[in-house]
Amino acid sequence: AQSVTQLGSHVSVSEGALVLLRCNYSSSVPPYLFWYVQYPNQGLQLLLKYTSAATLVKGINGFEAEFKKSETSFHLTKPSAHMSDAAEYFCAVSVTGNQFYFGTGTSLTVIP
């Protein structure tokens, strides 16, 4: 069975500080992993995805994530937080047939 765990339902960082959002997965098959962002009253927008190519994946808005098989992790990072990064972030693992399993989300607050 596949599942995703996001550690920390709320993360606060100062503007300009490093953003680190944690995601660990469980999968019986090689996983495909995704990070999505959700702004208030909007749907989810893809930030980046890992599909077994490079383990370091670069996404939009300066975000990147590194796939670490030994740690079953896919943490999301951004070197310098911006006020516009405040949103809900979801990690997801996909299995065949487009069935996605999402984590419970991490709400990011950026403090000016």
Partner 1 sequence: KAGVTQTPRYLIKTRGQQVTLSCSPISGHRSVSWYQQTPGQGLQFLFEYFSETQRNKGNFPGRFSGRQFSNSRSEMNVSTLELGDSALYLCASSSLGGSSTDTQYFGPGTRLTVL
User: Which positions touch partner 1 (CB under 8 A)?
Assistant: 32, 34, 36, 41-46, 49, 51, 90, 94-105
- Identity of the residue numbered 26: S
Encoding tokens for residue 12?
């606060």
Smallest distance, partner 1 to C-beta of residue 78, A: 20
CB-nearer residue toward partner 1: 3 or 12: 3
User: How many distinct helices (H) and strands (E) make up the chain?
Assistant: 0, 12
Smallest distance, partner 1 to C-beta of residue 71, A: 21
CB-nearer residue toward partner 1: 65 or 103: 103
Q: Cα–Cα distance between 44 and 74 in angstroms, integer?
A: 18
